[in-house]
Amino acid sequence: MDTSPKDIREGWTRVTCSVSHHCPEEPLILTIHGLEGTRFSSQKMAISNRVIRTVVDLEMSWEDHGKSLICSLRRWNGLEISRSTMQLEVKYAPKDVQVIASPGTTVREGETLSLECRIKSGNPEVSEYLWYKNDQLMYKQPKCNRIEFETKGDRHSGAYRCEAKNSVGSKKSEVLSIDVQYPPKEVIVKWRSRGVITEGDRVELRCSSKGNPPISRYEWYKLPQTDVFRNSDWLHFNAIQLENAGAYYCVANNSLGQSESSPVTLDVLYAPKDVQLAIENNKLPIKETDTVRLNCSFRQSNPSNDIWYKWYKAHSKDASAPATSGPKPTAGSGAPVPPLPSSPAPCDGGTLWEEFSFFSELLDHFVKTQNQFIQLTRKFQKALLQKRQKTRVARSKIKKQ
């Protein structure tokens, strides 16, 4: 028997069986059989030059590999005279390629994952295996059909497939999805504000994290408390108050565990609170010419090291100059006046001592009198200058005469 083409592959192949025949008076039958089914075309037998030849077209399948074809010579009465057998060598690309994952398609981060590219059959044997993740080529391996690695979160989650190749062709597997799970990581707090936080500002903190399975719950804590402050990924302060200042951190949770962020400190600036004015004097009642000490104090302030004080007199809209460590303020204007009693620099701890004298009314009267004296002096100087000029003009006229 003979085939055309010689190299049998899947598809149609012509098989020819022939035998020499020297007794034309004795009719013989030459048939081909051995493959069941309807993949045979009609057999055609011919006798020429004392050769009986039978031709048949067969549709070969990869499943025919290794099966036998039989060419049988029979008499007209059905008696078999001889036979010839040929074992089929069908070449075909790899079949039924699939990826097998061990220990499974869902693994915990840090576990070793093994992927095997398994085929049902192929002739000739596979010469190369190719591995893909999310349709991107990862590895090429000659003959080795297995890869394994230690899983690392999102890096190794994805859709895997393999491709098996031989000299006839190649075949890709179906996609196998690998899910690498891990507890929350990279917990970060981001916050929205206008920069410096002042009492009454709107402040928003947002907690974000990565995790697989996805984050199921966020918890906010305020140090040093251990109870949950709020359950949400957002922490809102529509009008932040002094009591909201402090250090906050969030905790992200999923079914595999939890992880916490670094603390974020909210430093809320506010004006001095509970400002009080007190009179401190050793002798009561206060008499004229006594030295009186007024104490301006407050309970708390932020910032606490940059406090300015202004003193007001009742029923007056004007304030005295801020008390600072610089030059002392002066009363009135014009010529120097007697100095006020010494005033210390701004006080540590929120207290300022300022001394006042009941000579203030006398001082005001002196300043007014002084201003009037200056104005009269200037008028006198002006009149004297005018008189001198007139005298000079009169003298020059007399000399000319």
Q: Over the stretch 39-65, which tens digit does the pLDDT of each residue have? A: 667 777 777 777 888 888 888 888 888
> Using an 8 Å Cβ cutoff, are 261 and 249 in contact?
yes
Report in angstroms the alpha-carbon separations of 115 from 108, 141, 151, 229: 15, 13, 12, 46
Measured in Å, how far apart are the chain's first and last C-alpha atoms?
169
How many whole angstroms separate alpha carbon 342 and alpha carbon 330?
A: 12
Confidence label for 79 from pLDDT (cuts 50, 70 and 90): confident
> Using an 8 Å Cβ cutoff, are 222 and 248 in contact?
yes
- Mention every residue, 6+ apart, whose C-beta is less than 8 A from residue 111: 103, 150, 151
Long-range CB pairs of 46-54 (<8 Å, 24+ gap) are 47/21, 50/20, 50/21, 50/22, 50/24, 51/18, 51/19, 51/20, 51/21, 52/18, 52/19, 52/20, 52/21, 52/28, 53/16, 53/17, 53/18, 54/16, 54/17, 54/18, 54/30
Average pLDDT, rounded, for the chain: 80
**pTM listed for this prediction:** 0.61
Q: What are phi and psi of 272, to 5 degrees?
A: -55, 140
Share of the chain above pLDDT 90, in %: 40
pLDDT digit string, tens, across residues 88-120: 888 999 999 999 999 999 999 999 999 999 999
How many whole angstroms separate alpha carbon 126 and alpha carbon 91?
A: 12
Confidence label for 336 from pLDDT (cuts 50, 70 and 90): very low
